[in-house]
Amino acid sequence: MDRIKIIGGNRLNGVIPISGAKNAALPLMIASLLTDDTLTLDNVPHLADVEQLIRILGNHGVDYSVNGRRQHQDGAYSRTVHFTARQIVTTRAPYELVSKMRASFWVIAPLVARMGEACVSLPGGCAIGTRPVDFILQGLEALGTEINIENGYVHAKAPKGLRGAEFTFPKVTVGGTHTMLMAACLARGDTVLHNAACEPEVVNLAECLNAMGAKIKGAGTPTIYIEGVEGLSGARVKVISDRIEAGTYAMAVAMTGGDVLLKDARPDYLRSVLDTLSKTGLEIKESEEGIRVARNGLDIVPTDIETQPFPGFPTDLQAQFMGLMTRAKGVSHITETIFENRFMHVQELARLGAHISLVGQTATVEGVERLLGAQVMATDLRASVSLVIAGLAAEGETTVNRVYHLDRGFERLEEKLSNCGAQIERISG
């Protein structure tokens, strides 16, 4: 099993290209099930989750082709991938595929919308909380879907097609908003979604569906209006840049010091994060190229955060921020409001010398003068990269084990960091 070895202490200087967003690419890929025409996606990142979803879509009969990887001057790669679901060969998504990635459960929406039925295994994914699919099923039922759960599978049927409805999410849910957008665009009549997620990835999906012929208004606000259409066509859409990756590398620079241009990063996707990082002492400059971040000799200022749905501080950057606060000059408080089990990285950071205490959903981080390298274990995608951030500043050698979590969401992380001066390498086997 691969692991990553880091020798800490190096500042980061240079350019880090920001890849396409995993959390945007996955629902866009799933949207290909809604049409028998080809959906072409540009800027698709090369990640384990993307490859797994390609296998899941292939199970349903989706053909795909890749234009190849086009190398840019800065060394980054982007891919253009064509997805064609000319014929759905099965509406069953088996456990052995869905259990490996939670987002794969979202195929239930386009399958029911286009085929009138679906049989999808209850999902798996990172062990960071229950993340129930209840809201997704409630939304589909509101559109006229008959739902039965037997032997770990959700059986969904709408033999007469879906019908528009007004639905209020009990809690803001990105996955629920994605699935309802895909289902409602082929429903008869109008659908109104209240308390919808406002994340940029939701907007990216709505823009994709509109390019395919859907009629969606209000994406990016809590109320979305969908006018159902009879069918969708193909389209060509670009995956937005990954705000979580950009925020992660910004925190790495805040941790190590240095000066890095986060190429193609979008400041409007990261406003709350940038405001928070500026309070820690990070210098931030926005430009057409992206976001330049720098910290030169200043102490890290302790700063409190509370995770919130967009446009608040994202839960997917909570672990990374905790890694940064382990070296702050003072005490900070980090409150997690989205997932109930997203502090599994605390014990691993403690192995590096961090002082962190937990009370309920709030972590109190007492900054330390130095971290010391150690063997640590990645527990989930975002937790794993918090250990990398800490390792970049730790004295001596840090080894991060079980880095397959990293491969799910960070494209060539060790290469991007080493190009900016980090002493980091992947060890296979």
pLDDT in tens, the chain (429 residues): 789 999 999 999 999 999 999 999 999 999 999 999 999 999 999 999 999 999 999 999 999 999 854 444 344 467 999 999 999 999 999 999 988 888 899 999 999 999 999 999 988 544 434 446 889 999 999 999 999 999 989 999 999 999 999 999 999 999 999 999 999 999 999 999 999 999 999 999 999 999 999 999 999 999 999 999 999 999 999 999 999 999 999 999 999 999 999 999 999 999 999 999 999 999 999 999 999 999 998 899 999 999 999 999 999 999 999 999 999 999 999 999 987 667 889 999 999 999 999 999 999 999 999 999 999 998 877 778 999 999 999 999 999 998 888 888 899 999 999 999 999 999 987
Is the domain covering 3-19+241-427 a CATH 3.30.70.580 domain? Answer: no
Compute CA 230 distance to the chain's CA centroid, rounded to the nearest angstrom. 31
For CA atoms 304, 347, 3, 23, give the dihedral sign.
negative
Angle at alpha carbon of residue 28, lines to 262 and 94, rounded to 5°: 120
**What are the two backbone dihedrals, phi and then psi, of residue 50, each rounded to the nearest 5 degrees?**
-65, -45
Say how many Å lie between the first and final Cα of the chain, rounded. 5
* CA pair distance 325, 254, nearest whole angstrom: 10
Asked if residue 311 has a cis previous peptide bond (ω within 30° of 0), the answer is yes
Do the strands 331-335 and 305-306 form a parallel or antiparallel pair, or are they unpaired? Answer: parallel
pLDDT for 132: 63
338 is in an annotated binding site: yes
How far is it, in rounded angstroms, from Cα 184 to Cα 156? 15
Model confidence pLDDT, tens digit, residues 133-144: 889 999 999 999
- Does 148 count as an annotated binding residue? no
| pLDDT tens digits along 183-203 | 999 999 999 999 999 999 999
CA 62 vs CA 50, 338, 393, 400: distances in Å: 14, 33, 45, 36
pTM value surpassing 0.85: yes
Angle subtended at Cα 69 by Cα 63 and Cα 70, rounded to the nearest 5 degrees = 135
102 is in an annotated binding site: yes
Residue type at 127 in one-letter notation: A
Contact 411, 47 (CB under 8 A): yes
Whether 3-19+241-427 and 22-238 share one fold: the answer is yes
The full set of domain ranges for the chain reads 3-19+241-427, 22-238
- Cα–Cα distance between 34 and 409 in angstroms, integer? 25
The encoded tokens of residue 209 equal 């569906």
Chain mean position to CA 94: 23
Instruction: Measure the CA angle with vertex 192, ends 186 and 197; round to 5°.
Output: 100
Residue 22 assigned as binding residue: yes
pLDDT digits (tens, 9 = 90+) for 368-420: 999 999 999 988 777 789 999 999 999 999 999 988 888 888 999 999 999 99
| Tokens (6 digits) for 24 | 């945007």
> Per the annotation, does 23 bind a ligand?
yes
- What pLDDT shows up at residue 131? 47
Query: What class does CATH assign to 22-238?
Result: alpha beta
Catalytic residue IDs: 126
Structure-block tokens of residue 298? 């200043």
What pLDDT score was predicted for residue 380? Answer: 79
